[in-house]
Structure 1
Amino acid sequence: MKSDLVIVYHRAPYEEVMEDGVIVLREHKSPNGIVPTLKALIGRIERAAWVAWKEAEDPAHPDFERVVDISDSFGTYAVSRLPLTAEQVRSFYHVTSKEAFWPILHGFKERYNYDPVDWPTFRAVNWAFAEAAAEEASDDAVVWVHDYNLWLVPGYLRQLKPSVRIAFFHHTPFPAPDMFNVLPWRREIVDSLLACDAVGFHVPRYAQNFMAVAHSLAGAHALQDAETDPRLASAGTALNEMFTPLALAVDGRTVRIDTNPVGVNFSYIEDLAAAPAVAEKVEAIRAGLDGAKLVLSVSRTDYTKGNVQQLEAFERLLKRRPDLLGQVRFMLVSVGANRGMSIYEDVQQRIEELTGRINGTFGSFEWQPVSLISTAIPLPELVAYYRAAHVAAITPLADGLNLVASEFCAAQGEDGAGVLILSEFAGASVLLEGAIPVNPFSNAHMDNALEQALAMPAAEAHGRMALLRASARRFTLQSWADATLDGFAALKASPVAATAPAA
């Protein structure tokens, strides 16, 4: 049976675990993260499917079923498992996506690495994803493609199944033309995205950048724009946009541009923070601080996340303010990703070196100023740290959105007085009102923000957190799902906008 909604994402919508010698497909425990976020729509569609890759030694004869039916708390849906070799995965994801695309998306031109890219393999993998999606989709289905490693899927899918509506959602920043056009495959990528009926982004800046890239490469022009929704604007900040594009025209076709930031499961985190077991953990954390203030930062290990800059700022604080020795601690949760990639190993090594230097210089047998956690923390425990922290420092050098900031606000509760330091270059900076904005490229900005947060009076901190929580509540998992489904309904009520791009 064909599906009315097909989600195309590189990761599977479940965890594979070994139980009693048998592989079991288990639902993700946490309600947060990109996979549960996408699955929030599945239970609201009569028939849905998901396309993801699964490693196989011989893709022509994989040792697993290509399509399986899954039933979990989100609903019942089909999962089409695309068999890829380990080398295909390494090439299309770890090399092309992470070494060529990732640095350009985040504005790190100096880290861009063109040499090892195998573009034919990237094309072949994207074509295989498009074939699998076409096989699962009904004639008038919506096919929802996710993120930059599947940039070519829309163009291929339009050739394979012209009748479907194609939506694409970009989870990372989208750069301006002078950065994006570094990519030698830029026209092929943009032509594929322009084969969509709708292209979506978190915040107006990324939508504007896409409009500019489409204009520079394909001659597209803005068909409709509007003053930016006040909830998506923060005057004077680095990512603020006064106007938001709604549609573009190219070659006689119309492509809708959606701006719809993903949110967190706010009420779930709020309830979790109030649970007795979490409340006990909060008390234990605070007792262990022995009166010191806790500065918390949570992210993946990545040069875009600003972890090194955070440690350097904390080191400068302790040098500048010896009176704070023993009075403030910094907990950095920096979870390793994509092990085996030298660009991430170098960042991890630098983080570990800085942590050792700070603890060796300023610590004692009784007190260590920095705690470094390099493994994922279960959500209930993480929520306890959110609630116990006096300051959350979320200071990426570039970030598509950053949901940790909203999680921190949700966990604080109605009586919360935690202070949020938030980078101007995180997409969330235009959504969350009440944070201390910081430019992570400036030592002075980082230093002043940390001093301000630690010295903030309780009344001001409580007032700021009330504003933060109110703004974080505007964009939740539920609101994102509602807006997305409304957009799909509008697509299905209108003619197919795009035609197949030239081969």
Structure 2
Amino acid sequence: MSSDLVIVYHRQPYEEVEVDGKIELRENSSPNGIVPTLKSFFGRVSKASWVAWKYAEDPANPEFERVIEIDDSYGKYNVSRLPLTPEQVTSFYHVSSKEAFWPILHGFKERYNYDPVDWPMFRQVNWAFAEAAAAEASDDAVVWVHDYNLWLVPAYLRQLKPSVKIAFFHHTPFPNPDLFNVLPWREEIVRSLLEADAVGFHIPRYSNNFKAVARSLTSSRTIDEAPTIEEMSPRGMALSERNTIKALRHHEHDIIVDTSPVGVDTDYIESCMAEPEVQAKVEEIRADLGEQQLIVSVSRTDYTKGNVQQLEAFERLLAKRPDLHGKVRLMHVSVGANRNMTAYEEIQQRIEELTGRINGTYGSFEWQPVALISTAIPFKELLAYYRAADVAWITPLADGLNLVASEFCMTRADLGGVLVLSEFAGVAVLLDGAVPVNPFSHASMDSGIEQALAMDAEEMRGRMERLRARVRAFDINGWVGSQTALFDRLRRVDHAADDAA
């Protein structure tokens, strides 16, 4: 039976766990995250499928199960697994996506590396994803493609299955033409995206950048634009936009440009915070801190996340403010990703060097100013640290959204804590109440963290009330609702065309 909804994403929708030498497929251990969120759409259609890749030493092995059926708490659905060799994954994901696309998407032109990209291999892998999606989809299905490593899937899918409705969602920033057009494959990528029926982004800036790129490379034109809703257009912020593109027309094909930020699961976070174990952990952390103020910073190890710049700002704070010695601690969680890539190894090395220098210069036997944690902390334990902290310091140089900031706010039912947030995190245009900082400015970073540490309880409460209201307004339920409405709209457009014919 063909599927009414096909989700195309590089990750599999479950965890593979080895038990007694055999691999078991288990639901994700936490219901929080993008994979469980996407799976929640399965209950809204009669039949659904998921397309992902899986390592295979020999893709031609007849014993490899290409399509398996999963029956879990989200229902029954097919998973079409593409067997990719380690060499294919390295080329398609680690090289093309991470060394060529990632720096351009985030504005780091100087880190762009074109030379090792195997473009025919990238095409080949995207074609395989499109073929698998076409095989699973019914004639009037919605095929929902996710993220930049699958940029070419819409064009291939339109060739293979012209009748399906194609939606594409970007989970990263989308840059302006001056940056995007550095890519030598820019026109092929954009023309593929313009074969979709809807292209989605987190915030208006990314949607408008897509419009600008499309109009720089093709004859597409704007057919619908509107003033940005007030909740997404704070005046004076780096990523603010006064108007937002709603639709483009390329030749005779209309493309909805959808702006809808992914949110956090507020209900799940609040249920976690009510658990006695989490509450006990909060008390344990505060008891250990005594009168010290705790700053928490959580991110991946990545040059886009501003880890180094933040540690340098903390070092300047301690140099300027001897009165804070022994009274403030920074918990800097920087979880390594893609450690086999030179760019990330360099960042990790610099983080470790800075941490050692700060602790060596200002620390003592009784007090170490920086606690560097390079492994992932269990989610509920992390929530306890958010609740116990005085400040969350989230200062990426560029970030598609950043859900850590929202998670922090949802742990603060006590209306305590201060959020210091980079203007270049996508979520900054949503979270009214944060202390905004420019991570490219020493003065802004320095004044922002000092303001947060000195903030009085009344101002803190007022800011946190506004922050929590915004997180609720843009939570995961809001995003699920907006995407469901988008799919309904795509189907109505299709039916209207049939009626007119």
TM-score range, shorter chain: over 0.9
- Structure 1 position 448 matched with structure 2 position 447: yes
Q: SS of 1:416's equivalent?
A: coil
1:271 positional shift: 2.1
Say if 1:304 and 1:62 are closer, same or farther in 2 by CA, change over 3 A: farther
CA–CA separation in structure 2 for the residues paired with 1:86 and 1:297:
33
Structure 1: gaps (5+ residues):
499-503
- Matching residue of 1:244: 244
Moved more, 253-262 or 42-51: 42-51
Partner of 1:34: 34
Matches of 2:357 and 2:380, distance apart in 1:
31
2:254 partner amino acid:
T
* Distance in 2, Cα, partners of 1:62 & 1:444: 62
Structure 1 position 40, deviation (Å): 2.1
1:218 aligns with 2:218: yes
Structure 2: 5+ residue stretches without partners = none
Q: Which residue is 1:53 aligned to? A: 53
Aligned pairs for 1:48-447 (under 5 A) are 48-61=48-61, 63-413=63-413, 415-447=414-446
Q: Judging changes above 3 Å, is the alpha-carbon distance between structure 1 residues 58 and 496 closer, same or farther for their aligned structure 2 residues? A: farther
Q: CA separation in 2, counterparts of 1:466 and 1:217?
A: 44
Query: CA contact under 8 A between 1:267 and 1:410: conserved in structure 2?
Result: no
Secondary structure of residue in 1 paired with 2:396: coil
Measure, in 1, the Cα distance between the counterparts of 2:457 and 2:178: 45
**Match of 2:473, as an amino acid?**
R
Check whether the contact 2:294–2:331 (CA below 8 A) recurs between aligned residues.
yes
Which residue does the alignment assign to 1:501? none
Deviation at 1:497, TM superposition (A): 12
What secondary structure, in the 3-state scheme, does the structure 2 residue paired with 1:334 have?
strand
How far did residue 274 of structure 1 move? 2.4
- SS of equivalent to 1:41: helix
Deviation at 1:268, TM superposition (A): 1.1
For 1:144, the aligned partner's letter is: W
Amino acid at match of 1:93: Y
Bigger relative contact order (CA 8 A; separation at least 6): 1
Displacement of 1:64: 3.0
- What does the per-residue CA deviation read over 1:179-226, in whole Å, with 9 as the maximum and x for residues that have no partner? 000000000000000000000000000000000000000121110011
Q: C-alpha offsets along residues 330-353 of structure 1, whole Å, 9 cap, x if unaligned?
A: 001111111201111111111111
1:487 aligns with 2:490: no
3-state SS of the aligned residue for 2:13?
A: coil
Give the aligned residue type for 2:216: S
Contact persistence 1:254–1:497 (CA under 8 A): no
- TM-superposed CA distance for 1:34, in Å, is 1.8
* Aligned partners of 2:433 and 2:464 also within 8 Å: yes
SS of the equivalent of 2:416 reads coil
Instruction: Please tell me the root mean square deviation across aligned C-alpha atoms, in Å.
Output: 1.2
Count residues with an aligned counterpart.
497
CA distances 1:243-262 after superposition (whole Å, capped 9, x unpaired): 11110111122111000100
Q: Distance in 2 between matches of 1:32 and 1:247?
A: 31
Distance 1:483 1:64 in 2: 37
Letter in 1 for 2:483: T
Normalized against structure 1, the TM-score is what? 0.97
| Separation in structure 2 between the aligned mates of residue 361 and residue 63 of structure 1, nearest angstrom | 59
| CA distance in 1 between partners of 2:406 and 2:460 (Å) | 16
1:387 match: secondary structure: helix
Letter in 2 for 1:90: T
Structure 1 counterpart of 2:160, one-letter code? L
Q: Is the 2:396–2:422 Cα contact (8 Å) retained in structure 1?
A: yes
1:205 partner letter: R
C-alpha deviation, 1:37, in angstroms: 2.1
Structure 1 segments (4+ residues) deviating >2 Å? 495-498
Q: Is the 8 A contact 2:165 2:197 kept in 1?
A: yes
Residues 175 and 206 in structure 1, CA contact (< 8 A), matched pair in contact too: yes
